[in-house]
Amino acid sequence: MDSEALKNCSALHPKPAGLSLQYGTAGFRTKAEQLDHVVFRMGLLAVLRSKAVAATIGVMVTASHNPEEDNGIKLVDPFGEMLHPSWEEYATKLANAEEQELQKVINEICQKGSVNLHKDASVFIGRDTRPSSKKLSQSVIDGILVLGGHYHDYGLVTTPQLHYMVCCQNTQGCYGKATVEGYYEKLSKAFTELIKQSHSSGESQRHLKVDCANGIGALKLSEMKPYFPQEVLIHIYNDGTKGKLNHLCGADFVKVHQKPPEGLDMKPDERCCSFDGDADRIVYYYKDATSHFHLIDGDKIATLISIFLKELLAKVRQNFKMAVVQTAYANGSSTRYLEETVKVPVHCVKTGVKHLHHKAQEFDIGVYFEANGHGTVLFSKAAETKIRQLVREEKDDEKREAAKVLENMIDLINQTVGDAISDMLVIEAILALKGLTVQQWDAIYTDLPNRLLKVQVADRRVIDTTDAERRAVTPPGLQEKIDTLVKKYRLSRAFVRPSGTEDVVRIYAEADTQENADALAHEVSLAVYHLAGGKGAPPQL
Annotated binding site for substrate: 370-372, 497-501, 506
| 309 within 8 A of 300, measured Cβ to Cβ | no
Q: Which residues lie closer than 8 Å to 389 by C-beta, 6 or more apart? A: none
Query: Three-state SS for 455?
Result: strand
Active site residues: 64
Residues 6+ apart with CB under 8 A from 53: 77, 78
Torsion of CA 39, 41, 44, 49, to 10 degrees: -80
- List residues forming the annotated binding site for Mg(2+): 64, 276, 278, 280
Nearest-angstrom CA–CA distance, 371 and 329: 7
Nearest to 74 by CA among 41, 26, 113, 122: 26
In 256-316 the beta strands, taken as DSSP E runs, fall at: 272-275, 282-287, 293-296
- Whether residue 41 contacts residue 86, with contact meaning beta carbons closer than 8 Å, is answered with no
**Three-state DSSP class for 307?**
helix
| Nearest alpha-carbon partner for 58 in 144, 1, 126 | 126
How do beta strands 122-127 and 150-156 pair?
parallel
Answer whether 168's CB lies under 8 Å from 182's CB: yes
